[in-house]
Chains A and B, each alone.
Chain A
């Protein structure tokens, strides 16, 4: 396949720009470029085919199964797009006067109510643009809370070693020192280690529940109490909310602040199809510190709250990725309270169905029941046949399935983490189980075939080590 630069032919451009009908002005000395812009020159027909070819080489939720663990790659319903494209949502500007966008503000107030209800939180900000951005915002709320009380000795955030890497990174960005605590044998928080770690320097705990090994921490009430008793606050990473939405609420588990990935749990496009939205919910003790603006109801009018003395500041321009919120709101309203709960139940059922179908062919890191995702360890397979988690993941590509999450969580060696989500049918799950079992038996009978996979793609295995050691960041032509 050719690069767009390689398709370029000098002089073959598509000049579709309308004639300039405003006065032109020259750029200041030193700012104007001295040579022509070096862009590929291709005809419209060629460029259209080029991007179609690229799209054919990609794999998205619309192409096939995408069981990327901890990423909740659920189907993105088309009705979400329809709602977000309505002119009252799509054709407005954030600087329009509030009287002219009452419906848009009402939708934000409604979204705040509904996401508050789902999480057990009092208020929600939709300003953060994505998950880790939401984490940072949540930790800044905790920081503002302690500072408002003159409690400046709290400099540490506790993070279990099973956490997503973004947790310690977000807390570090907010200026905190990270205390990592090891997990126990079930992959859950070790209560004794937590008790030993908390103190009057504890600002808070960041926790994902169910955690990254797909287990719901049954000691959750005791965990959040230990942190509260030490004077810290509890942060809920909403990465795995899909397993419990409509069933259990972070607010009832003792959490004070939570971020939601609307682009995961609430079915808006994810990854390259984003943008995301990392909505942050909090208990009322943290509400004064939320970023502004926020949409509020005042009698029968809707307003934008833009100023108060206590907000810790802005994390993004205007009010976040607004249309993503509309898509997520559409999803929640489409499913309703019963549907939200049922989605979580089926997500857990699907994961357990797959885990059970694979348990004879693969070793489970934490046998028993799982929540919405499960982790397999291929340590034994690697030792015996030389086939690693990476090899099995690559081999899945030949079966038309996106590889699951690999080598995460870090506490499991040769990990493959699978999250089917509720939107996959039993037939799809059966096909995936069959594919994974076929790969496991091929790993024994003909390991070379698995180690050299994928065989059906334009590129088999990119040289990741070479690319990381000697990155070429610029294409010269």
Chain B
């Protein structure tokens, strides 16, 4: 299972990457994309939107179902990844490259797991 050590994770399978200067990137884990199966549609917030920790900020659609994506932080969206909108399959091919949004002004953080903790959590679940 691919779990990059520099990322933080949520129990709902999102990852958070610190880009420095108070900017963060959010995406979904390799485990999540595998469980969801082939993604065919992604819905993202707009630049400037406020998102809230532990609340849905995006959704992804596979052939099976539509699933909410929960935010690991309360923050302001500064950039969205147009590439995942155009090619949802990029999330399936590389979940850690295919970020959803970049955010700033983080005011609150959900309970986050380190890579080791997330791996242990996945083993426990499976």
List chain A positions with a Cβ less than 8 A from chain B.
165, 406-408, 410, 464-465, 468-469
1/0 contact string of B61-78 vs chain A (CB within 8 Å): 101111000000000000
Q: Which residues of B contact A410 (CB under 8 A)?
A: 65
Asked if B38 contacts A465 (CB within 8 A), the reply is yes
State which residues 51-93 of B face A: CB under 8 Å: 61, 63-66, 88-89
Asked if B65 contacts A468 (CB within 8 A), the reply is no
In the assembled complex, B41 has its CB within 8 A of some CB on chain A: yes
Q: Which residues of B contact A165 (CB under 8 A)?
A: 66
In the assembled complex, B40 has its CB within 8 A of some CB on chain A: yes
Q: Which residues of A contact B61 (CB under 8 A)?
A: 468
Q: How far is A469 from B92 in the complex, measured between Cα atoms in Å?
A: 13
Asked if A468 contacts B40 (CB within 8 A), the reply is yes
Q: How far is A129 from B66 in the complex, measured between Cα atoms in Å?
A: 25
Q: How far is A165 from B68 in the complex, measured between Cα atoms in Å?
A: 12
Number of residue pairs spanning A and B whose beta carbons lie under 8 angstroms apart: 17
Q: How far is A440 from B61 in the complex, measured between Cα atoms in Å?
A: 29
If A407-B64, A468-B40, A468-B63 are given as contacts, then 14 extra A-B residue pairs at C-beta distance below 8 Å, sorted by A number, are A165-B66, A406-B64, A407-B65, A408-B65, A410-B65, A464-B63, A465-B38, A465-B40, A465-B63, A468-B41, A468-B61, A469-B40, A469-B88, A469-B89
Q: How far is A408 from B61 in the complex, measured between Cα atoms in Å?
A: 15
Closest chain A residue, CB of each to CB of B126:
A383
The 10 closest A-B pairs by CB, nearest first: A468-B40, A465-B38, A407-B64, A464-B63, A469-B40, A465-B63, A465-B40, A410-B65, A407-B65, A468-B63
Closest chain B residue, CB of each to CB of A408:
B65
Q: How far is A408 from B64 in the complex, measured between Cα atoms in Å?
A: 9
List chain B positions with a Cβ less than 8 A from chain A.
38, 40-41, 61, 63-66, 88-89
Closest chain A residue, CB of each to CB of B63:
A464
Q: Which residues of A contact B66 (CB under 8 A)?
A: 165
Q: How far is the CB of B111 from chain A (nearest CB, A)?
A: 16
Q: How far is the CB of B87 from chain A (nearest CB, A)?
A: 8
Q: How far is A406 from B65 in the complex, measured between Cα atoms in Å?
A: 10
Q: How far is A2 from B68 in the complex, measured between Cα atoms in Å?
A: 41
Q: How far is the CB of B95 from chain A (nearest CB, A)?
A: 17
Q: How far is A469 from B63 in the complex, measured between Cα atoms in Å?
A: 10
Q: How far is A408 from B66 in the complex, measured between Cα atoms in Å?
A: 12
Q: Which residues of B contact A407 (CB under 8 A)?
A: 64-65
Q: How far is the CB of B16 from chain A (nearest CB, A)?
A: 22
Q: How far is A469 from B60 in the complex, measured between Cα atoms in Å?
A: 13
Q: How far is A201 from B105 in the complex, measured between Cα atoms in Å?
A: 29
Q: Which residues of A contact B63 (CB under 8 A)?
A: 464-465, 468
Q: How far is A410 from B66 in the complex, measured between Cα atoms in Å?
A: 10
Q: Which residues of B contact A408 (CB under 8 A)?
A: 65
Q: Which residues of A contact B89 (CB under 8 A)?
A: 469
Q: How far is A425 from B57 in the complex, measured between Cα atoms in Å?
A: 48
Closest chain B residue, CB of each to CB of A406:
B64
Q: Which residues of B contact A406 (CB under 8 A)?
A: 64
Closest chain B residue, CB of each to CB of A413:
B35
Q: How far is A327 from B66 in the complex, measured between Cα atoms in Å?
A: 35
Q: Which residues of A contact B65 (CB under 8 A)?
A: 407-408, 410
Could you list 17 examples of A-B contacts with CB < 8 Å?
A165-B66, A406-B64, A407-B64, A407-B65, A408-B65, A410-B65, A464-B63, A465-B38, A465-B40, A465-B63, A468-B40, A468-B41, A468-B61, A468-B63, A469-B40, A469-B88, A469-B89
Q: How far is A274 from B38 in the complex, measured between Cα atoms in Å?
A: 32
